[in-house]
Structure 1
Amino acid sequence: MPSSNPLPSHEANLFKKILKCYEQKQYRKALQHVKEILKKFPDHGETLSMKGLILNYTNKKSEAFECAQRGLKNDVKSHVCWHVYGLLQRSDRKYDEAIKCYRNALKLDPANLQILRDLSLLQIQIRDLEGFRDTRYQLLQLRPTQRVSWIGYAMSYHLLKDHSIANNILEEFNKTQPKTIDFEMSELLLYQNKIYQEAKLFEKSIKHLDDNKNFILDKLCLLEKKAFALTNLNKNEEAAKIYEQLIERNPDNLIYYQNLEASLNLNSIDEKLNFYAKLSEKYPRSDIPRKTPLLFLSDSKQFSSYVEEYLKRSFRKGITPLFKEIKCLYSEETKWKIIESLVVGYATCLETDNKFSNDSSQEEPPTCLLWVYYFLAQHFDYLKQYAKALVFINKAINHTPTLVELYIVKGKIYKHCGKVYDAVVCLDEAQSLDTADRFVNYKCSKYMLRASMIKEAEEIAAKFTRETSHPAEYLKEMQCMWYEIEAANAYRRIGKFGDALKKCHQVERHFQEFIEDQFDFHSYCMRKMTLSSYVDMLRLEDRIKSHPFFYKASKIAIEIYLRLNDNPLKEMGAELDTNTENLSPAELKKLKNKQKKQQLKAQNEKEKQQQLEQKRKELNKQKNKEDSDLEQPIEEELLPEKLERPENPLEECNRFLKPIEEFAAQYPETHYLAFQVYYRKNKPLLMMKALKKIKKNSNTVDYLAKFHYCACKFLLKYEKEKCSYNTDVLGVIQNELKHLELFGQSVEKLNENFLSVNQNNFESLIVGSKILYDLNPNENQQKALDLFKNISKENLSINLITAIDAFRSVAENHYFGKCSKEEVENIRTKLKEFFTEATIFKTPEEQANDLINCVQGLSINSFVSSVNNDITDQMTSVNIR
């Protein structure tokens, strides 16, 4: 289509040169040509738009948008101006606005292929599948000879789950194409077969694979697809033959064994045992045929015989993850007891005779005893018999003091005991034995973060980061989310909510980047014919926020925002004034000195960070001096001081709550968090929705306790505020309460019944005490606290995490109001009876001493002096509190 505002021939040639230079990324040269045209025609819209597009590629976003807007204003009937403005909006991730611009451009030039392609990319990015189908149809009409046009149109129907039309399009296209033995034809045929199988056309799928087997290069995928189709058609004999071929190709693939077993219809235990015995003879190096019988054997003698053979072989070979391999058997008490008696017997005999049993004539290598100790330590740790576990891991360390894995397991045992600082020392020892092992480095820094030793964790992590950047910045660039999640938890524990939220928002941004990064693959995968992988990638992106990392970060962020909503932080400087009222002059002087040190320290760290950031920017500028990719939208800087003082914490929750409600609905904890948010927002229908989902997904005692807590909180609010609800809302709530068997129930009676039924579960006692306090905070505070103090070891189910949460709800979160020091110490002492070694239940002085001993025992000691000073300062603030 000709320009709506044509240039003279000389300037028109210059404009063509601009387009050519733009395509070749010669941006400086292009800008020189732009300057020549604008000297004579300063208001030429298309030239101004092109100038804006080029400036955007040279990282001058504000000037780029200004030029593009002027160009569009001067020539609103130009498809070039609209197209360029759409490209700028796309670079700013404003996809809806970009689509509007492309549609306006298409009104002026309906047959413009480039605009149609760009429009289709945006439509698939935002999953406007109907619009994507229509755009691909237009492209097919304009370019019916191009392969990508046909494939794109077929894929649009596939994504819309209209498999029959997608199949018809590909069949018609294949009729016009000569078959060649190459990668692209192979991928196209496999993609077509994928559609057949998703449409459940298994007969057609098998025929298609047989007809095209010479043209499909991925023979493994061909066999897997054929076996899957035959299984679904109940042609088990043919499927079994293919699974035998697949096992021969990969004897360590568990799925092949399971499918082969299902295809052979093995029902009796003897048939299964014979089947796996033959496979173990045929594939002697594979562990799967030896391990699988252990899962279905129920007879104690048979199981003992098979597991003994398996264990002896593993100990002789020194298989480190042996315990993890057979941990699945510990769901049955009889099986783990047999394993325990066997391995304890091995340890006794190996210590005396260096044999597995007194009857054996075969002498075992010395390493067998080491691996037996290693296994027993993990075994007793899993059974929560930590004293026995420590005995065996110490024996293993005395046997071979240079084995890294032993210190990792010892640290794990200490972690389960609650001795977080001893766990750190063990992991640091492991790390010092092999400083080049990235996994051990990761475990060590993770344990340090769990002990709230953030600086030390950064120093350990820095061993595998770029020297020119700060470790935390480098880990953020590398999207190291395990570190950010652990750091967020550590910051939350020490009360630095802003830093914790910063880490959570960084994780959220990483997932947003994953979603944005798929944009480049929309055109690439069509061209390179990686069609099956492309469809799998699109489906993965659709549920990317169901990943555990996103769920963990969201949970931390929501809990912090709820805490900030209930107890907002005071403005900077205000906290000092309120805390210094009752201090002696000496304590006040110590507190001020501490704050001066902290401010100076923070200022130095900030200056270092700014210097490193400046260096990084300069390097990037030099690297991208000639050309650069489209500038990504500038994201708002995450400032901890601002994050921990939000204007509306509950609204901030939505950023994390909405995705996990959609993608992590299978977890009762999701709906528990949702209830907490909607309770504070006073949204009765959303509260009821969350309550129903908690009830539906509650399959353990702990989650039944959460349901009881939410139900009682809802009933208390409902009784107070039902007069303000309109009749429709009131009718829905009453109807749902009847289904949940809560309508007309008294909260006092519900709580009494709940406590009487669940008096042996600590989580239930906590919930019951919270509801008791909520019924009448003034009168019931002491009664609620007595539920903590009156617990006894006899017949009480309690775990360390629940105990820590309960203690913090009293001591730190003040759920039961302000408690005296004596009450807090009484509860701490009572919980210490259950977890005698746990650091959290020691006094602040004991914890500080443990931390000093821990830091002094580390292989890294550059922080020792500063940490000692910090601990002294912390003790002052602890005493003040």
Structure 2
Amino acid sequence: MPPSNPLPPKENALFKRILRCYEHKQYKNGLKFAKQILSNPKFAEHGETLAMKGLTLNCLGRKEEAYEYVRRGLRNDLKSPVCWHVYGLLQRSDKKYDEAIKCYRNALKWEKENIQILRDLSLLQIQMRDLEGYKDTRYQLFMLRPTQRTSWIGFAMSYHLLGDYEMANSIIDAFRTNQMKGPYDYEQSELLLYQNMVLAESGQYERALQHLQKFQNQILDKLSVKETSGEYYLKLKRFKEAEAVYEDLLKRNPENVMYYEKLVEAKQLSSPDEKVAFYDDYKLEYPKAIAPRRLQLTEAYLPVFERLIDEYLRHGLHKGIPPLFVDLRSLYVDESKADTIEKLILQYIDNLAKTGVFSTKPDEVKQPASALLWAYYFAAQHFDYKQDTTKALFYIDAAIEHTPTLIELFIVKGRIYKHAGDPVSAYEWLEEAQAMDTADRYVNSKCARYMLRAGHVKRAEDMCAKFTREGVPATENLNEMQCMWFQTEAAAAYQRLQRWGEALKKAHEVDRHFSEIIEDQFDFHSYCMRKMTLRSYVGLLRLEDVLRSHPFYFRCARVAISVYLRLYQHPLQDVPQTQEPDTENLAPSELKKLRNKQRKAKRKAEQESALAAQVQVKREQHHKARQQQEQGDPEAPQLDELVPDKLARAEDPLEQALKFLQPLRTLAADRIDTHLMAFEIYFRKEKPLLMLQSIKRAWRLDSQNEHLHDCLLRFRTWLDDKQAGLPTGVTTVIDKETQPMFKGRSPQTMAEEFVAGPALRSQRGALWGARALRRLQPAPAPAALALATRLDLPGLSIQGCVEVLESLRAGDFGECEKETEQYVQACRAKFPHALAFKPDAPPADDAQPGDFALDN
């Protein structure tokens, strides 16, 4: 279609040069040519030239001018596909994908067959998962360019993503038979594997297997052919063929655990004795392989287990394998196996210390001196796992006395103290381990994590600075590298320190990382189809769809939501202005001290300001360099700076909390914490139907949950107070849906029944039940207090006792100073190493007393 406002030949040639300059990133030359056209009074308002000038300015970072020129160009030529396309590119550069799609659709109204606009539109549609729109756009591209490979692949993939596997398969078949010629190469191989994936996802395993066998000579990934065919044989219950495939795969890699498990399935072995005998055969066939020996331990039972674990432990201790305990830890779910391991390891230590052998048998071979060291090391971890801190410390101290230069010993000692509730001693031992090998990044990171859990945020940052870029603060570099383990730990540390703004800043930084990862997939939509990495591409799309279900996001969202809820209940007060000290009445010596203090504060402020300016310059240089490396994309939008104080004083904390919650309601709906957090938000917003939805979803997951019980009671009490003012339709729905949960009981009855039953099954249940009783009976309730402070309940832990102590100090049970002190003394006797129960606990340099992470 010709331009709606054509230029004469001379100006048209200049306009084409603007387009070439944009494509080759010669932006200043492009602006020069645009000026030559626009300086002519006849074409001063030429829409397409104005739009291209705006697009060029956008690439130079002059965003406001860019939008002004593009909108001006669009007003002057509303029927120009170029103007609409350019406006779409601007919107895309600002990540406003929905608006960009509208612009592209407007451009296509005036030029239906523009290949470039259709391609750009298809990329945005797959980015936004508009699969129906993507299919239509890929169909148009396919009709316009039927000889291009990407047209066929994109068209087939659009049907695959929509679940129309038969159509996708037929398109790939037609493309492969009609278009692909020449020798078999990697791209042909990947296309065949992708087609096989489509057939398998349609549930046609027989057909997929035949396809794999037919084209196995053309597929270069021979391992994938074997593994996939073995999977198909198992699904089709053709066990003999599957057995042959997995036996062949084991010859290739006898350490692959999955191959053994699949072979057990193919041989249809069910009893433990059969499986133990099966692994015995492969121990003989592959004498150096560890996998069959370890898998055998999971299946075996006493007395066979004792013989097998004896062999396994002796081998591990003789060789000096540090992760031996981690390898065997999963066996501890069976108490008899844990007891057997304990008996053997204590026997080894006794014999090795006396005679240097594992047992007193006459034919025993003398072991190296390191065997005793690793036996101590294993025993320390064993008793730490069993929460016997005294024995764990005894054995780790014996190991350190034996070999005081082994870093792993100090790491384990720090872990023992962490589990014992002493995070300060824990990080000090990790710091000593780090000092023994300052080039070990793992130990450095582990030490920083322990420092954060002890409340020493500044020290943790200094520790990480040893491995970050010079000249830039560690937090800046860690944020740039998307180091989310540090940021989630720092957010939790700041939350414990009640530094709400910093906690929210870290949570928002993690949230932005996930947004960036989602946006970064944009470049792969065209790349993967061009390079034929189709299976990986489909995996990428499916990963991005559930990205925010990752534990890192869940942790940061939980911190952010709890902080916002706290700020809603207790908003920060404005900081009073400090008054100028009265210098007239000060003694000369005091005045001199004051002046020195002011000079030091001023010098420190100037240094911090200079450092911040330097950091900002480096950040801008980095962003500029990264922008120059990007291929043709306009400058990415600059995000607002995260200011802790501003975040902590948000005008709508509940709305901010909802932003973190929304992805979890979709992607973490199988976690009860998601729905409990939702209830807490909607309860404060007084949204009865959304409260009902949240507790219903939580009820379906775990009807006995302690926190859910508290939510039910609060909802029931709220309904008793507010139900008269609710619409009739709402009350009808609530009455019907809550019947299975409330069963016509009053809040008092529900609380008493819970305390008599589920509350006594755990320490956490007792605490929530006691809180409910106290809330329903505001008068002093000794029974509720006694229930909360019981120390003979199942699942007793340091963290649980800390929660009870915080609840007592927060006044949940009224004035109870005497009872609180008695509870602290009882906890101190039960957990002697826990800092939370020590009266003289040393505070961190940037922490408050008692603000420690005690998670296992």
Match of 1:841 in 2: 837
Query: How is 1:337-352 mapped onto 2 (pairs within 5 angstroms)?
Result: 337-352=339-354
Aligned match of 2:282 = 279
**Separation in 1 of the partners of 2:475 and 2:414?**
24
State the secondary structure of the residue aligned to 1:671: helix
The offset of 1:622, in angstroms, is: 7.2
Q: CA deviation at 1:787?
A: 4.0
Task: Classify the secondary structure of the residue corresponding to 1:759.
Answer: helix
Q: 2:634 — aligned with what?
A: 630
Q: How far apart, CA to CA, are the structure 1 residues paired with 2:273 and 2:391?
A: 38
Relative to structure 1, is the Cα distance of residues 785 and 230 closer, same or farther in structure 2, using a 3 angstrom cutoff? same
Equivalent position amino acid for 1:34 in 2: A
1:504 Cα shift? 0.2
- Determine whether 1:533 maps to 2:567: no
Q: Kindly provide the amino acid, as one letter, of the partner of residue 734 in structure 1.
A: D
Partner of 2:201: 198
Equivalent residue of 1:846, what SS?
Answer: coil
Tell me the residue number matched to 1:178: 181
**Measured at CA, do residues 566 and 623 of structure 1 come closer, stay the same or move farther in structure 2, by a change above 3 Å?**
closer
In the other structure, the counterpart of 1:11 is 11
Instruction: Give secondary structure in 2 for the equivalent of 1:402.
Output: coil
Cα distance in 2 for residues equivalent to 1:475 and 1:95: 29
Query: Is it true that 1:388 corresponds to 2:416 in the alignment?
Result: no
Question: What's the counterpart of residue 671 of structure 1?
Answer: 675
2:137 aligns with 135
1:735 equivalent to 2:739? Answer: no
Which among 212, 225, 229 is matched to residue 228 of structure 2?
A: 225
Q: What's 1:408 paired with?
A: 411
Q: Is the 8 A contact 1:179 1:215 kept in 2?
A: no
Corresponding position: 1:750 with 2:750:
yes
1:440 to 435, 438, 443: 443
- Cα-to-partner distance string for 1:765-789 (whole Å, 9 max, x where unaligned): 2112211222143x23766445445
Q: Give, in whole Å, the separation in 1 of the partners of 2:305 and 2:594.
A: 65
On the 8 A contact 1:180/1:215 being kept in 2, the answer is: no
State the Cα distance separating 1:104 from its structure 2 match. 0.6
2:479 paired with 1:476? yes
- Does the 8 A contact of 1:151 with 1:170 survive in 2? yes
Measure, in 1, the Cα distance between the counterparts of 2:598 and 2:647.
21
What per-residue deviation string (whole Å, max 9, x for no partner) do you get for residues 155-204 of structure 1?
00000011011111111111203253111111111100000100111222
The answer to whether the 8 Å contact 1:276/1:289 transfers is yes
Q: Specify the SS of the correspondent of 1:127.
A: coil
> Residue 39 of structure 2 aligns to a residue in which SS?
helix
1:328 positional shift: 1.1
Instruction: Report if aligned partners of 1:498, 1:643 keep a CA contact under 8 Å in 2.
Output: yes
* 1:38 maps to 2:38: yes
Correspondence for 2:557: 554
Amino acid at match of 2:834: A
Number of residue pairs the alignment of both structures matches:
831
Task: Please tell me whether the aligned partners of residues 118 and 141 of structure 2 are also in contact (alpha carbons under 8 angstroms).
Answer: yes
1:684 aligns with 688
Q: Which AA in structure 2 matches 1:284?
A: P
Deviates more, 1:160-169 or 1:703-712: 703-712
Gap change, CA 1:593 and 1:744, over 3 Å in 2: farther
The corresponding residue for 2:709 is 708
Please say which of residues 431-440 and 592-601 is displaced more in the overlay: 592-601
Q: Deviations over 1:358-393 (max 9, x none)?
A: 114200111111111111111111111111111111
Q: How far is the alpha carbon of 1:492 from its aligned partner? A: 1.0
Corresponding position of 1:144? 146
Conserved 8 A contact 1:50-1:84: yes
SS of aligned partner of 2:476 = helix
| Partner Cα distance (2:598, 2:206) in 1 | 76
Determine the structure 2 residue equivalent to 1:863. Answer: none
Instruction: Tell me if the contact between 2:82 and 2:107 (Cα under 8 Å) persists in the aligned partners.
Output: yes
Cα pair 2:377 2:395 within 8 Å, conserved: yes
3-state SS of 2:780 partner: helix
In the alignment, is the contact (CA less than 8 A) between 1:461 and 1:471 conserved in 2?
Answer: yes
Cα shift readout 1:84-118 (whole Å, capped 9, x = no counterpart): 00000001011111011001100100000000000
| TM superposition shift of 1:11 | 1.2
Q: Could you say which residue in structure 1 is the equivalent of 2:100?
A: 98
The answer to whether residue 822 in structure 2 is matched with residue 831 in structure 1 is no
Contact 2:494 2:503 in 1 (8 A): yes
The amino acid that maps onto 1:9 is: P
Superposed CA deviations along residues 372-425 of structure 1, whole A, max 9, x for unmatched, are 111111111111111111111111111111111111111111001111110011
The Cα shift of 1:665 comes to 1.4
Shift of 1:624: 6.3
Partner of 1:329: 331
Q: CA deviation at 1:750?
A: 2.2
In 1, the alpha carbon distance for the partners of 2:817 and 2:603 equals 33
5+ residue gaps, structure 2: 580-592, 852-856
How do 1:566-605 residues align onto structure 2 when only pairs under 5 Å count?
566-573=569-576, 604-605=607-608
State how far apart, in whole Å, the 2-side matches of 1:26 and 1:241 are: 62
8 Å CA contact 2:627, 2:635 repeated in 1? no
- Paired residue for 1:805? 803
Shift of residue 33, structure 1, vs aligned partner = 1.1
| Structure 1, unpaired ranges of 5+ | 578-589, 852-866
Tell me: CA distance 1:754–1:604, structure 2 relative to 1, closer, same or farther (3 Å): farther
User: What RMSD over aligned residues (CA atoms) do the two structures have, in Å?
Assistant: 2.5
Distance 1:249 1:193, change over 3 A: same
Shift of 1:466: 0.2
Deviation at 1:671, TM superposition (A): 1.4
Partner of residue 110, structure 1 = 112
| 1:521-571 deviations in Å (ceiling 9; x for gaps) | 000011111001000000000000000000000011111111111111111
Q: The residue matched to 2:641 in structure 1 has which SS?
A: coil
One-letter code aligned to 2:706: A
SS of residue in 1 equivalent to 2:113: coil
Q: TM-score normalised to the size of structure 2?
A: 0.93
Question: Secondary structure of 1:730's partner?
Answer: helix
By how many angstroms is 1:821 displaced? 5.8
Any conservation in 2 of the 1:840–1:847 contact (CA below 8 Å)? Answer: no
How has the CA–CA distance of structure 1 residues 81 and 795 changed in structure 2, closer, same or farther, with 3 Å as cutoff?
Answer: closer
**Contact map agreement 1:487 1:503 (CA 8 A) in 2:** yes
Which residue number corresponds to residue 643 of structure 1?
647
User: For residues 384 and 212 of structure 1, do their structure 2 counterparts lie closer, same or farther at Cα, with a shift above 3 Å needed?
Assistant: same
Greater displacement, 378-387 / 14-23: 14-23
Out of 303, 307, 310, the residue aligned to residue 308 of structure 1 is: 310
| Separation (CA, whole Å) in 2 of partners of 1:31 and 1:604 | 41
Query: 8 Å contact 1:27–1:626 — kept in the other structure?
Result: no
Q: In the alignment, what sits opposite 1:586?
A: none
TM superposition shift of 1:746: 2.1
Amino acid aligned to 2:574: E
Find the aligned partners of 2:706 and 2:286 in 1 and give their Cα distance: 50
Amino acid at match of 2:175: F
**Does the residue aligned with 2:796 lie in a helix, a strand or coil?**
coil
Q: Output the CA distance in 2 between the equivalents of 1:646 and 1:301.
A: 64
Q: Contact 1:470 / 1:609 at 8 angstroms: preserved in 2?
A: no
Which residue of structure 1 aligns with residue 584 of structure 2?
A: none
| 1:294 to partner: Cα distance | 1.2
Asked if 2 retains the 8 angstrom alpha-carbon contact of 1:157 and 1:163, the reply is yes
Describe the superposition over 1:566-618 as per-residue Cα deviations: whole angstroms up to 9, x where unpaired: 111111228x89xxxxxxxxxxxx99999999998677545422322123324
CA shift, 1:17, in A, is 1.2
Equivalent residues of 2:347, 2:359 under 8 A apart = yes
CA drift of 1:753 comes to 2.5
Alignment of 1:85 onto 2:91? no
Residue 767 of structure 1 is matched in structure 2 by: 768
CA displacement, residues 648-705 of structure 1 (integer Å, 9 cap, x when unaligned): 2111111111111111112111111111111111122222222222222228xxx621
Tell me which residue corresponds to 1:52.
54
What pairs up with 1:368-379 in 2 under 5 angstroms?
Answer: 368-379=371-382
Partner of 1:657: 661
